[in-house]
Structure 1
Amino acid sequence: MRITYRMMTSKYSTNLNSLSSDLDKLNTQVATGRKYAKTSEDVSSAVRGYQIRRNLAKVEGYQDNIQHAEGFLTNSESTLGQIESSLAEATDKILQGMNGTQSEGDRKIIATELRTIQSQMLETMNTEVTGMYLFGGTNNQKPFSLGADGKLQYNNVNLDSLVKGSAEADKLENDSMYVDIGLGVKFDETTGEVDRNSVFNYSFPGLSFMGMGTDSEAVPGEAVSNNLYDLLGRIATEFEKADGDYSFDKVDKLYGLYKDNSLKAYQTTTEIGAKSQYLEFMTSRYETQNFNLEERQTQVEGVDAAYTYIAFQSQKVAYQAALQMGQSVVQQSVFDYMS
């Protein structure tokens, strides 16, 4: 069989293109560190790689949600610390006013100071961070306000009118913000709403620790507000009375109710700390999971850097040798000398 010049050049061109294609593939692997650039190059590895990438995306989403919740809890804890400081300051003022050596004028000064603390507490309870009210649940407006009678309201509902455990009170107390941190979101088959046990609650409605309803036992014949704001105002009112009307026993009973209700704020701080610790645990867990997934991804999609580089250099030498051989295979023609 006679081997023609055309057959030689065609065969050479085919082999050169094959070497060039292999060289380009190895060059891409060296540059990207990946075994394949298209799914068709390794379908099995690509499918496993996509699954790993989906899991990595999920973990990243959970980590972002945890970071958001941690920031919100940190702000809530520091702001609640300010409220606790106000409560402690009010305690000192009340005890000072209850001292038998205080004159009528002294008590009125202390009453003014208590009302100042009231105003500070109201402002702190409406603290806003990045467009969200720390103690307002899902509210997009200030949760705490004063009614026409000067009484404290939450979502425009008078706190004195609320009864702990009632449907209205439960609705307001459960108006919290939730986030998915990988607990396995579930939905109620009846209502279609998200099961709150399957998501993370990172907010604390101020209603839950400010207090609600009234107490008819502390002061006989009077329904005393249970919320800390109005309770401070009631104590201030007693201090403002003249000597003949002022009652130490009444203030003492009001102070006892105030101390009991103040504990809710400190309990909430403990709950915030517990939630923050849980988020730290989840953060550590996802960091480990993310590391393991990235290692697995490297095994599935990555190449052996040393082996691939050596193969690339070898292919490069082969390609250069083929180019040099082409000078013998592809003969010059008269057209190469024409200018």
Structure 2
Amino acid sequence: MRITYRMMTSRYSTNLNDLSVGLDKLNTQVATGRKFARTSEDVSSAVRGYQIRRNLSKLEGYQDNIKHADGFLTNSESTVGQLESSLAEATDKILQGLNGTQSEDTRSIIATELRTIQDQVLETLNTNVTGTYLFGGSNDQKPFAVVGGKLQYNGKNLDDLKEGTPAEIEEVEALKRDSLYVDIGLGVSFNQITGDVDRNSVFNYSIPGINFVGNGTDSTVVSGEDISNNLYDLLGRIATEFEKPDGSYSRDTVDSLFGLFQGNSQKTYQTTTAIGAKTQYLEFMTNRYETQNFNLDKRQTEVEGVDAAYTYIAFQSQKVAYSAALQMGQSVVQQSVFDYMS
């Protein structure tokens, strides 16, 4: 078979072009660390890679939601701690007032101090962080307000929120359930009848204030009187008793009111425990997702990534071959007079 000059140059150009394409592909792999730049190069790997990236994106969303919820719970815990401090101070003042040797003037001073603590409690209950009230549930307005001398929660008088009839119980429970929820990967589902989100499939990261402030009244503490169960009004009632003159002041009444106050104050400490449990669960989910994220990153590298050392060696070898081919071209592609024409 006769090998013509045209055949040699054509074959040389084809081989040189193949070397150039291969060199460009290896250069891209070295630069990007990926096996392929287009889906058409490896459809199967590209599909698996897309699924992995989609899962990584979901994990990133869950982790962002966990960080938000954890920050909210941290603020809630510190705020409840402030409330506990105020209640502890009130306890000291009440015990001081219960001392039988206290004069009418001293009791009046203690009453003033208790009303100051009342204001502190109200301010704490209405704590707002980045536009959200910590203890207001889904309400975007101040959850607690004093109207007519009585504490209200989300527009409802707490004394009126009694748990007697089924309708009254449901009203109170609805307020206690009205919280803030976030998706952390528990598998969000919806009620087929109402279309509402199933609250067991999302994470509840807030504590409505009604859960630990108290609601309704108690008629067994002081004969003939319905005493508020909520801590704010209860403090005010104790202060009122301390303000009474010696003739009408009743130490036994204060003692009974103080017993109710101590019992209801326990709800704040229980709230701290509940917040701690929620935070601990978020830590568990964080560790779980970090492990999943690591495994998915590793799998993504296996599917889409290249062996860096092998690819670099291949790139250098291809570059040497390409350079050698260029040098060989000087003898294959002979010069002619046309190379010198401009």
Range of TM-score over shorter length = over 0.9
TM-score, with normalisation over the residues of structure 1?
0.97
1:59 deviates by: 1.1
Letter in 1 for 2:208: P
Which amino acid in the other structure matches residue 159 of structure 2? D
Post-superposition CA distance 1:145-172 (Å, at most 9, x none): 111x111111111111112362221221
Deviation for aligned residue 1:334: 1.3
| Pairing of 1:185-204 with structure 2 (within 5 A) | 185-204=188-207
Q: How does 1:68-83 map to 2 (within 5 A)?
A: 68-83=68-83
TM-aligned CA deviation for residue 5 of structure 1: 3.3
Kindly report which structure 2 residues correspond to 1:1-339, keeping only aligned pairs within 5 A, or say none: 2-147=2-147, 149-164=148-163, 166-338=169-341
1:74: Cα distance to partner?
0.4
- CA distance in structure 1 between the aligned counterparts of 2:113 and 2:5, rounded to whole angstroms: 107
SS at match of 2:275: helix
Equivalent-residue separation in structure 1 for 2:290 and 2:4 (angstroms): 65
Deviation per residue, 1:14-37 (Å, 9 max, x gap): 211111110010111111111111
1:2 Cα deviation from its structure 2 partner? 4.6
Amino acid paired to 1:139: N
Q: Cα deviations across residues 208-228 of structure 1 (Å, max 9, x unaligned)?
A: 100011111111110111000
Cα separation, 2, equivalents of 1:276 and 1:125: 20
Measured in 2, the distance between the counterparts of 1:199 and 1:334 equals: 80
In structure 1, how many angstroms separate the alpha carbons of the residues matched to 2:261 and 2:143?
22
Percent of aligned positions that are identical: 78
* Paired residue type of 1:107: R
Could you tell me how far apart the structure 1 residues matched to 2:5 and 2:154 are? Answer: 92
Deviation at 1:338, TM superposition (A): 3.2
Q: Equivalents in 1 of 2:223, 2:7: separation in Å? A: 115
Count of aligned positions: 338
Report SS of the residue matched to 2:221: coil
Quote the Cα distance in structure 2 between the aligned partners of 1:312 and 1:178: 52
The 2-side partners of 1:150 and 1:329 are apart by 103
| Whole-angstrom CA distance in 1 between matches of 2:116 and 2:282 | 37
1:9 offset after TM fit, Å?
A: 2.4
What letter matches 1:206 in structure 2?
Answer: G
Q: Provide structure 2 residue ranges, at least 5 long, that are not aligned to the other structure.
A: none
